[in-house]
Amino acid sequence: MSMDKTLTLDEQIEVDRPLREVYAYIAEFSRIQEWDPGVARGVKLTPGSPAVGSEYRIDMKAGFSLHYRIVELEPCARMRMEVDSKVFTAREEIRFAALKGGGTRVRYIAEFTFPAPLAAANKAYPAAMERVGKSTMRGLQAALEDDFDAPEQSALVALSDRLVLPGIWRFTRLGYKASRRHWKPVSAYLGDSHVVITGATSGLGLAAAQGLADMGARLTLVARDADKAAAVAADIARQSGNASIAVEICDLSIMAQVHALAERLLQAGEPVHALVNNAGALFNPRQLTSEGFEASFALLLLGPYILTERLQPLLAQAGDARVVNVLSGGMYSQKIRVRDLQSERGEYSGAVAYARAKRGLMILTEEWAQAWADAGIVVNAMHPGWADTPGVESSLPGFYRLTRPLLRSPEEGADTAVWLAASTEAGKVSGEFWLDREIHPSHLSGRTRETPEERAQLLQVLEELRQSTAVKPAASGPRGKKARRS
C-alpha cells in the first residue's frame, strides 16, 4: 500500500479588476515569480500564448524546480495544470469568475502528492504548504491590485552614483541582480495599448519588443532593414503568441524618412500609448548622412526629436501615454554643446558625440515632461546598464572583451524601458532618468549642467531643423540636397 501523502489546498481572492485583465496576467504563468514569494524565476518553455500543452519551468528559491504543463484551458474561465518535481507532484486548477460590479474572483485548488519517504521524513509539509498557499494568494492579490507608490529618488542611490565606482558597479549584471530584489509586480494590462518602438531588430530594442509583446501590447516596430524586421516580427509573434506586430521601415538618421514615418502613423490615426526611442549606434570616424547631418546627432537627437514631436497628437489621444528615451551612462561625462551640435570643432570622438547627443535627449526628456504633463503624457529616460548586445560588441570591441562576464543580458538591459512603458507606478513620475527601475540623478557634476539659455537654444535649433527638413508640399519645388547645419 502506498504511503504517499496528499494535501489539498483551496484558496480564493477577489480583486477589483476586470476578468480579462486578471486572466491575462495569471495565465502567462512564467510571471509567477512576481507574486509567489517562494519562486526565484519562471521560464516559459514553449512558444505562443498559454494553451493546452504549454510548459513552464518554475525555479524555487528553495533550490528545486517545478515543471508545469497546462492540461486543460478555458480562456477566462479555468486552467488546469500538472506539476512535477523532485519534491512533490501536483494537480493545480485556477478558476476565474467575473463578479458583479466588474471585479474578479480567482480560486486556486491544488492537490499535492508527496512521495512516501519524503512525507515520512518531514511531517511539517502540510502546515508549510498551507502557509505557502496563503502567502502566494496574498502576493497575487497585491500584484493584481497594482497600487504601488510612485518611486522616489533615494539619497543613497544619488550618493553612490557620485562615488563613481559604486555607480559603475550598478551598470553590470550584479547591479541588476541587486536591484531586482526590491521590484514590484507589473500586472498592468497592455491588451489595449499600442507601442511604437525604434531599433527593435537587435539588442535591447528586440528584448523590449519581446517583453511588451508578451504582455499583450500591439507593437509597431520601426526598423531600417525590411528583411530583418520581417523576420524579427515573425519571431516575436511566434514566441509571444501575439499577432499584432506591425513593421514600419525607416532609417531614423534620415529626417525625410522620419517625417514620412510620422506622416504614415498620423494618417493611420491609431493612438500611441508608448513610444520607445531606442535605436542607436556609435559612429567612428565622424560621418555625415545623405542629408548632410553628422550621424550621431541625426540618429540620437534630431531623429527622436522630430519623431516624438510629430507623434505628440497620437500620444495625447492615448490619454495616458509614455515616452521612453533610451540613453546611456556615457551622458554623465558630457555637457550639451549647443554651438557645436554636430561635432564640427576640435578632434572628433564617436563616444563624445554619442554622449552629447544622449545628453541632448535627456534635456528633451525634461522639457517634454513639463510641456506635455497636461496632455497626460509622461516622458522618462533610462540607462540600460551595460548589456551584451550586437551594438556593444561591434562598436566597443575592447570594452566588450574586458567586461563581457559582467554584462547584462539584453532582457536585463531592456527591463527598465519595458517597465517605464508598462507599469502603473512608472506612469506617476515624469522627466526622470532611470536605471533598474530607480531614479538616478541626470548630472553627477555641475560641470555638465547647461544654462537655461542653452536649453532654450537647443530647443530652438531642433525646432528649426524639424521645420526645414519637413517635406514641403509639391508646389514649392524640390528641396536642396544639403540640410542646414546647426
Ligand X SMILES: NC(=O)c1ccc[n+]([C@@H]2O[C@H](COP(=O)([O-])OP(=O)(O)OC[C@H]3O[C@@H](n4cnc5c(N)ncnc54)[C@H](OP(=O)(O)O)[C@@H]3O)[C@@H](O)[C@H]2O)c1
Q: Please give the positions annotated as active site.
A: 354
Rounded least distance, CB 200 to ligand X, Å: 6
* Residue in 185, 211, 360, 413 binding ligand X, rule: CB under 6 A: 413
325 binds ligand X (CB under 6 A): no
Rounded least distance, CB 126 to ligand X, Å: 48
**Nearest-10 Cα torsion for 94, 98, 104, 109:** -20
Residue 319 or residue 390: which is nearer to ligand X going by CB?
390
416 binds ligand X (CB under 6 A): no
280 binds ligand X (CB under 6 A): yes
**Residue whose cell numbers read 519517504:** 117
For 241-387, list the strands marked E by DSSP. Answer: 245-249, 274-277, 321-326, 377-382
Rounded least distance, CB 338 to ligand X, Å: 21
Residue 171: how many CA atoms within 13 Å on its side-chain side? 16
Residue 187 or residue 325: which is nearer to ligand X going by CB?
325
**Nearest-10 Cα torsion for 104, 146, 172, 382:** 120
Residue 205 or residue 431: which is nearer to ligand X going by CB?
205
296 binds ligand X (CB under 6 A): no
Residue 396 or residue 470: which is nearer to ligand X going by CB?
396
Rounded least distance, CB 199 to ligand X, Å: 3
* Residue in 228, 286, 455, 479 binding ligand X, rule: CB under 6 A: 228
What phi and psi, each to the nearest 5 degrees, are found at residue 227? -65, -45
Answer positive or negative: Cα dihedral of 302, 308, 310, 312: negative
The footprint of ligand X on this chain (CB under 6 A) covers a number of residues equal to 29
What letter does residue 405 receive in the DSSP assignment? G
What phi and psi, each to the nearest 5 degrees, are found at residue 50? -55, 130
167 binds ligand X (CB under 6 A): no
Whole-number Cα distances in Å, 71 to 7, 245, 295:
20, 28, 53
253 binds ligand X (CB under 6 A): yes
Question: Nearest 5 degrees, angle CA 37-CA 43-CA 45?
Answer: 150
**Sequence-distant (≥ 6) Cβ neighbours of residue 59 within 8 angstroms:** 39, 40, 41, 42, 43, 65
**Nearest-10 Cα torsion for 47, 48, 51, 56:** 40
| Candidate ranges 48-56, 66-74, 95-103, 203-211; the one touching ligand X (CB under 6 A) | 203-211
94 binds ligand X (CB under 6 A): no
The DSSP H or E segment spanning 295 is helix 295-297
| Candidate ranges 22-30, 43-51, 196-204, 456-464; the one touching ligand X (CB under 6 A) | 196-204
Residues 378-397: x where in contact with ligand X by CB under 6 A, - otherwise, as a string: ------x-xx-xxxx-----
| Candidate ranges 20-28, 221-229, 362-370, 422-430; the one touching ligand X (CB under 6 A) | 221-229
* Residue in 58, 70, 326, 357 binding ligand X, rule: CB under 6 A: 326
**Sequence-distant (≥ 6) Cβ neighbours of residue 340 within 8 angstroms:** none
76: left (phi over 0), alpha (psi -120 to 50) or beta: left
255 binds ligand X (CB under 6 A): no
* Residue in 89, 179, 187, 201 binding ligand X, rule: CB under 6 A: 201
Query: Where do contacts with ligand X occur on this chain (CB under 6 A)?
Result: 199-205, 223-225, 228, 251-253, 278-281, 299, 326, 328, 384, 386-387, 389-392, 413
